[in-house]
Amino acid sequence: MSLKLDRISLAYPNGYPAVNAVSCEIGRGERVAIIGPSGAGKTTLLRLLATALRPSAGSLGVLGADPWRLDRVTLRQLRSRIGMVHQAPPIPPRQRVVTAVLAGRLGQWPAWKGLLSLVYPVDIGGAEQMLSRMEIADKLFERCDRLSGGQLQRVGVARVLYQQPELILTDEPVSAVDPALSDRIVGELNREAIARSVTLVASLHAVDLALHWFPRIIGLRAGEILFDLPPVRVSDAMLKELYASESAQVPTQDNRPLEIVPTGIRRKPMYS
């Protein structure tokens, strides 16, 4: 079991629950998309799974361990097995792209190798290969502050691909790229998870992207799970209820309404 959540809660300092009594289990190799309106608690939930936040109630199992019962060294080792793709990657602006990608292995390398890589990249070919998957290999030696938001997001994905973690968590990883690239990036993340039999949990704004790529969909609203189903069982009524507080239309890549096809699956992205 990769993840086990038993009535996990986390409240803001003002007492408002960002995540409220969430329970679910996610097995090794599962691919799960989390969807829901802004403010639903998706980012908070992912940060809990990444052990960046400690729950205020409930119990959490990550890769077979309770993170908050581990000593500091063991917790650091656990975190090195988790790869997190942020909506805005926390990459030093003056850092070279190659160094940013190779930083994915810092938690696994001995200290001397990590320090050496900061001075001279120790695996240029490996970094270039991951950037090629994101279609930005030409930016290998570019400074990160010279990249667009979408390019920086792809560097963040390339870093996690290079890390080769046992658990991949992604928080809106394609919010700054166009629909064609969104489909390519989410596809690469899925192919990575399938090839290495690792767990992938992704928070996505575009519902059609989630329904196309993921065999399990969790709908989150107001910090609670509204449904946890395969895509063919996610009805239009469920989606309308999920997004009722945000708008009259379920968000998609190109803002077109979802369409029902004979198989019962919603329209796939036209860019795949």
Look at residues 164, 179, 204 and tell me which one is the last residue of a structural domain.
164
29 plus 157 within the same structural domain: no
Top-confidence residue, 28 or 246: 28
Mean pLDDT confidence for 172-184: 88
Confidence at residue 267, expressed as pLDDT on a 0 to 100 scale: 47
Domain carrying residue 172? 1-81+167-272
The domain total for the chain is 2
- For residue 176, give the CATH number of its domain: 3.40.50.300
144 plus 180 within the same structural domain: no
Task: Judge whether residue 219 has pLDDT over 90.
Answer: yes
Mean pLDDT confidence for 47-74: 95
Per-residue pLDDT band for 17 (boundaries 50, 70, 90) equals confident
Cβ-based burial of 134 (10 A; exposed 0-12, middle 13-18, buried ≥19):
buried
Confidence at residue 120, expressed as pLDDT on a 0 to 100 scale: 64
Confidence at residue 145, expressed as pLDDT on a 0 to 100 scale: 93
145 plus 66 within the same structural domain: no
Per-residue pLDDT band for 88 (boundaries 50, 70, 90) equals confident
Per-residue pLDDT band for 259 (boundaries 50, 70, 90) equals low
Task: Judge whether residue 270 has pLDDT over 70.
Answer: no
Task: Judge whether residue 47 has pLDDT over 70.
Answer: yes
159 plus 180 within the same structural domain: no
Confidence at residue 251, expressed as pLDDT on a 0 to 100 scale: 84
76 plus 185 within the same structural domain: yes
Confidence at residue 118, expressed as pLDDT on a 0 to 100 scale: 62
Q: pLDDT tens digits for 112-126?
A: 565 656 666 778 999
Look at residues 164, 187, 217 and tell me which one is the last residue of a structural domain.
164
Confidence at residue 50, expressed as pLDDT on a 0 to 100 scale: 97
Per-residue pLDDT band for 226 (boundaries 50, 70, 90) equals very high
Confidence at residue 154, expressed as pLDDT on a 0 to 100 scale: 95
Average pLDDT of the chain?
88
176 plus 241 within the same structural domain: yes
Work out the percent of the chain whose per-residue pLDDT is above 70: 87
Look at residues 110, 131, 164 and tell me which one is the last residue of a structural domain.
164
14 phi, psi to nearest 5 deg: -80, 0
